[in-house]
Amino acid sequence: MKKGIQTLLLLSLLVVFTSCHTTETDKISYNKKYVKEIKEARKKMFYYVTINYIPGAAIAVLKNGKIIYSEAMGLASKDLNVDATRKTKFRIGELSELYTSLLYMKMVDNGQLNPDSTIWHYLPNFPKKRYKITLKDLAYNCSGIREERLSEEENWRSNTSIQSGLNKFKNDSLLSPPQLYQSRSMFNYNLLGAIMEKVTKKKFTNILKEYLTNTLKLTNTTTDDPYRIIDGRTNFFENNIVGNIIPATHRDLRFCAPSRGILSNAEDLVKLGNAIISSNFLSEKAKQEMFQPIPLYNKTPSKQTNGWFLIKTKSGDTIYGRASKVTGGGASILMYPKEKLIIATVTNLGVDLDETPIFDIADIFLQK
């Protein structure tokens, strides 16, 4: 029965798409040149959304600097029966680091930050450690700072700032010397964000807006704040103990905005990727350094560079990506620099990362 309902849903959506004469609405925008590929891609995306009972989601595909397909699916609010649109803002979890990373590289370009300077150069009162930690160590997630505990990652308390969030780990010893191995600790990017605030004397939200979102016209990206009305923000959902979809538990992610607390959408994510590989937003030197591995233990090249994971394709090319889930949301992005293809998805329900269809969708457009 469940399979039959899914099949009917997919068929009805494909009929709507085929009979649509407009190329852009609040729900969908597409380039007719890629209709065949888009039909296949949206079939996979709708199946992913349906099989996982995701209330709302969105996808965007950028090719040669232009968004060729963007679509919102399902609901932003179940209680009010409000549709998700292409402008709906979703929690993107660890993909927040990609915005912070680009912000960091821009400030390095501007001469405001030095990757080889220690954190104490900017925060002299931060407790001293056995080893020196540089800004590059933070950006590469190889500082030796411990990973967050569940109670620290899923914050129930309110009125927390990035600066006060440093209290969670600042007195702890390092687990290893920097550049021994990489660890996806949110404290690395939280500390990097705190340094940005000290250097600019501005709040991270304002730095993000001034340096990135205004300049790149990322109009649907901002930091989350549960006590502020944010236009277009989706409701957040999670599964209860028996698998039913319920409103997500309250979370205040302001203290970890640089690492986990940014709201965005699929279109802004692909524009972010395009700003790195196909625009003059960064200098050529910064573009090269963005994806340059560093040697770790036994001279093993790092698999993550400035927030991005390096992925080898069957043909031997290197592509870049990141996927994450967080309470009430999830996101994924893939970049193929050689083909100038970027794909991003966002959801308002956290789903296991190995279920994302983003690689299958990429294959469809790579065949074009």
Indicate whether 238 belongs to any domain: yes
Q: How confident is the model at residue 8 (pLDDT cuts 50, 70, 90)?
A: very low
Residues 153 and 234 both lie in one domain? yes
Q: How confident is the model at residue 123 (pLDDT cuts 50, 70, 90)?
A: very high
The token pair that represents 53 in the structure block: 């009972």
Indicate whether 229 belongs to any domain: yes
pLDDT above 70: residue 363: yes
Predicted pLDDT of residue 367: 86
- Please tell me whether residue 156 adopts helix, strand or coil conformation: coil
Predicted pLDDT of residue 150: 82
Residues 154 and 181 both lie in one domain? yes
Residues 76 and 100 both lie in one domain? no
Predicted pLDDT of residue 271: 98
Residues 56 and 167 both lie in one domain? no
The token pair that represents 93 in the structure block: 């979890």
- Please tell me whether residue 24 adopts helix, strand or coil conformation: strand
Residues 65 and 130 both lie in one domain? no
Indicate whether 162 belongs to any domain: yes
Indicate whether 332 belongs to any domain: no
Domain that holds residue 166: 89-313
Q: How confident is the model at residue 15 (pLDDT cuts 50, 70, 90)?
A: very low
- Please tell me whether residue 347 adopts helix, strand or coil conformation: strand
* 204-218 pLDDT, tens digit each: 999 999 999 999 999
* 279-320 pLDDT, tens digit each: 999 999 999 999 999 999 999 999 999 999 999 999 999 999
Indicate whether 135 belongs to any domain: yes
Predicted pLDDT of residue 57: 98
Q: How confident is the model at residue 354 (pLDDT cuts 50, 70, 90)?
A: confident
Residues 144 and 268 both lie in one domain? yes
**CATH at residue 228:** 3.40.710.10
Residues 79 and 93 both lie in one domain? no
Alpha helices in 20-134 (DSSP H): 35-51, 96-109, 119-122
Residues 78 and 93 both lie in one domain? no
Residues 15 and 109 both lie in one domain? no
* 161-194 pLDDT, tens digit each: 999 999 999 999 999 999 999 998 999 999 999 9
Predicted pLDDT of residue 56: 98
Residue that wins the pLDDT comparison between 7 and 348: 348
- Residue ending a domain, among 42, 63, 86, is 86
Residues 176 and 30 both lie in one domain? no
Residues 133 and 58 both lie in one domain? no
Q: What is the mean pLDDT of residues 257-286?
A: 97
- Residue ending a domain, among 58, 86, 114, is 86
Q: What is the mean pLDDT of residues 230-241?
A: 96
Predicted pLDDT of residue 156: 58
Look up residue 2 and give its amino acid.
K
Nearest to 330 by CA among 49, 32, 38: 49
Work out how many domains the chain is built from and give that number: 2
Residues 155 and 216 both lie in one domain? yes
